[in-house]
Structure 1
Amino acid sequence: MPERTGYAHGVPSWVDLGTTDVEDAKRFYGAVFGWEAEDMPTDQGTPYTMFTKNGKVVAGMGSMSPEQAAAGVPPVWSTYLNVDNADEAIAKVTEAGGTVVMPAMDVMDSGRMAFVADPTGAAFGLWEAGTHMGAQLVNEHGSFGWNELLTDDTEAAAKFYADAFGYRPEVSETPNGPYTAFWVEGNVEGNAAAGMMPKNPGMGPIPNYWGVYFTVDDVDQLVGDVQANGGNVIMPAMDIGVGKIAVVQDPQGAAFTAMTFANKQR
């Protein structure tokens, strides 16, 4: 079921890009994913870009503020969890040991959002849907297909997401070490909501974060398209059993994972 009309509480429903060059990002993602971009007015004065694929909304983009750039905040893809009530979700987050990065605010009639961080420091958004319920297309070429927490304390993170969002963690052993799937009541049958894996020393001094995966028909082709359009390859394509992945960066430095699933996702 690649087309979505809504999301259960706690399920990732939206991803957006904060970048230093909106126009070049439009060019890059248009070339590699076939996205079309439409700038929407906001009550903040700067437009917000909606990316569409086959007429369906798939992701968003906003320009980073001068203050963020001055502080050295890099361009980044962010994950948003759908919540029934943003204010109640914030209360749950703080009770579970998380912190509020940006308090809840109305986004015109689109919805209500906030930014929070889990106890390990990984930041993510909360989205209470109004007229904008999130991505209308997922698990198809050029749309997001997975969201994954990379953290140095999986035990603390698992407890936090269980307490704050009702996640049920299920750990399995893989050739690359333990992997946690988060299951959420009300999600599409047979689909975990998100995943989690521990950081390893070989990854270097990177912060704990929520990574965004985009589904593609052919990872090798995607890697070539990224390079041809000014992007970089962080991790070449590799087989992980359930599919094939590569980690890449857009020209401004925002990283994401491209994945071709071995089996069709719903």
Structure 2
Amino acid sequence: MPKRTRYPAGVPCWIDSARPETEAAVAFYSGVLGWELADQMPPGSAETYFEAKVDGGLVAAIGSWDNGVEGVGWTTYIAVDRADEAAERVRAAGGRVLVEPHDVLDAGRMAMCADPEGATFAVWQADTHIGAEVVNAPGTWNWSNLVTADVEAAQRFYGAVFPWEFDALEVGGETSITVVVPQYGDYLETIDPGVRARHAQGGAPPRFTDTVAWFEPLDKGGPRWHVTFSVADADEAATRARELGGEVLVEPFDIPWQRIAVLRDPDGATFTAGQFKPPT
């Protein structure tokens, strides 16, 4: 996959996870996803921030800091032009700003937020750190989706905060709401020429190349942003997760174009492992 050099406003751009201790998570994700992790904090620092790489490109991070969120999980960052203005839009639309906008050294400026249902996310104004450099390849972040009890209210909130439009997509007899950033595909064409044509030839729905996320109905896990990692083999990922102290919440099964499993790491953070599996 081509390396990303920037993210247009409104496109999810980064994920990380805050934990009281990082040792178990570092060992787990290294073993399941093949990450190479290195602590970016100075020697002697009270905190850690392990950035993960796959094939030399940044993909995610695990750190030990207070991000203002209860419990352990994965945070999805969404690119914005101005973090302070995005935080004000969050408030105006009925959400909360959990951590006020602040600079992260010279990497960028961020704020931690929650939507009206309590699902947490971050906004990211990039400086030297644009976000994930490699996505959609085995071992990397593939997708984030919002699990929500009120899809229509979620559309109103997020549509007021980000330059998002929404389409209805039928998958397996169920309707999902896809999140579209118009002209995002134009950017993808600059780093991956022909991507629109390949999607169309594969039977993708209109505006698929401009799609950046989706909304799905609430399950028993509560409102949240849920992440999917690409893997070469979903069954192997589930086996490795068990071996390394995690749990398999949903055994591997097939859906159109993918084989997926829902996993939980040793600290309790859940995620989906997705294997690209096109029709034969």
Is the TM-score greater than 0.5?
yes
Aligned partner of 1:253 in structure 2 is: 268
Cα separation, 2, equivalents of 1:47 and 1:27: 14
Given that residues 261 and 274 in structure 2 are in contact (C-alpha distance below 8 angstroms), is that contact kept between their aligned partners in structure 1?
A: yes
Alpha-carbon deviations, 1:103-123, whole Å to 9, x = none? 101001010010111122211
Counterpart secondary structure, 2:135? coil
Aligned partner of 2:167 in structure 1 is: 170
Counterpart secondary structure, 2:9? coil
Of residues 84, 104, 109, the one that matches 1:107 is: 104
Given that residues 123 and 209 in structure 1 are in contact (C-alpha distance below 8 angstroms), is that contact kept between their aligned partners in structure 2?
A: yes
CA RMSD of aligned residues (A): 2.1
Task: Give the count of matched residue pairs.
Answer: 255
Q: In the TM superposition, what are the counterparts of 1:142-181 in structure 2 within 5 Å? A: 142-175=139-172, 177-181=174-178
Alpha-carbon deviations, 1:134-165, whole Å to 9, x = none? 00000000100110000000000011111211
Counterpart secondary structure, 2:236? helix
Counterpart secondary structure, 2:17? strand
Alpha-carbon deviations, 1:220-261, whole Å to 9, x = none? 111111111111011111222131211101111111111112
Aligned partner of 1:198 in structure 2 is: 217
Off by >6 Å, runs of 4+ in structure 1: none
Aligned partner of 2:253 in structure 1 is: 238
Alpha-carbon deviations, 1:150-197, whole Å to 9, x = none? 000000001111121121111123336221110003423514111110
Aligned partner of 1:8 in structure 2 is: 8
Judged with a 3 Å threshold, the aligned counterparts in structure 2 of structure 1 residues 51 and 117 are, in CA distance, closer, same or farther, namely: same
Aligned partner of 2:200 in structure 1 is: none
Cα separation, 1, equivalents of 2:94 and 2:72: 27
Given that residues 90 and 96 in structure 2 are in contact (C-alpha distance below 8 angstroms), is that contact kept between their aligned partners in structure 1?
A: yes
Cα separation, 1, equivalents of 2:256 and 2:30: 29
- The alpha-carbon deviation at position 64 of structure 1 amounts to 4.7
Of residues 135, 139, 146, the one that matches 2:132 is: 135
Aligned partner of 2:18 in structure 1 is: 18
TM-score, scaled relative to structure 2: 0.85
Deviates more, 1:79-88 or 1:113-122: 113-122
Amino acid at match of 1:246: A
Counterpart secondary structure, 1:193? strand
Is 1:55 matched with 2:52? no
Given that residues 216 and 222 in structure 1 are in contact (C-alpha distance below 8 angstroms), is that contact kept between their aligned partners in structure 2?
A: yes
Cα separation, 2, equivalents of 1:176 and 1:31: 35
Cα separation, 1, equivalents of 2:230 and 2:61: 16
Cα separation, 1, equivalents of 2:65 and 2:41: 16
Judged with a 3 Å threshold, the aligned counterparts in structure 2 of structure 1 residues 145 and 97 are, in CA distance, closer, same or farther, namely: same
Cα separation, 2, equivalents of 1:209 and 1:238: 23
Given that residues 47 and 65 in structure 2 are in contact (C-alpha distance below 8 angstroms), is that contact kept between their aligned partners in structure 1?
A: no
- The alpha-carbon deviation at position 20 of structure 1 amounts to 3.3
Cα separation, 1, equivalents of 2:23 and 2:276: 30
- The alpha-carbon deviation at position 217 of structure 1 amounts to 1.2
Cα separation, 2, equivalents of 1:21 and 1:95: 35
Is 1:76 matched with 2:77? no
Alpha-carbon deviations, 1:29-71, whole Å to 9, x = none? 11111111111127x8523111111111110111155x97xx9
TM-score, scaled relative to structure 1: 0.89
Judged with a 3 Å threshold, the aligned counterparts in structure 2 of structure 1 residues 62 and 115 are, in CA distance, closer, same or farther, namely: same
Q: What residue ranges of structure 1 are gaps of 5+ in the alignment?
A: none
Cα separation, 2, equivalents of 1:20 and 1:256: 19
Cα separation, 2, equivalents of 1:24 and 1:176: 39
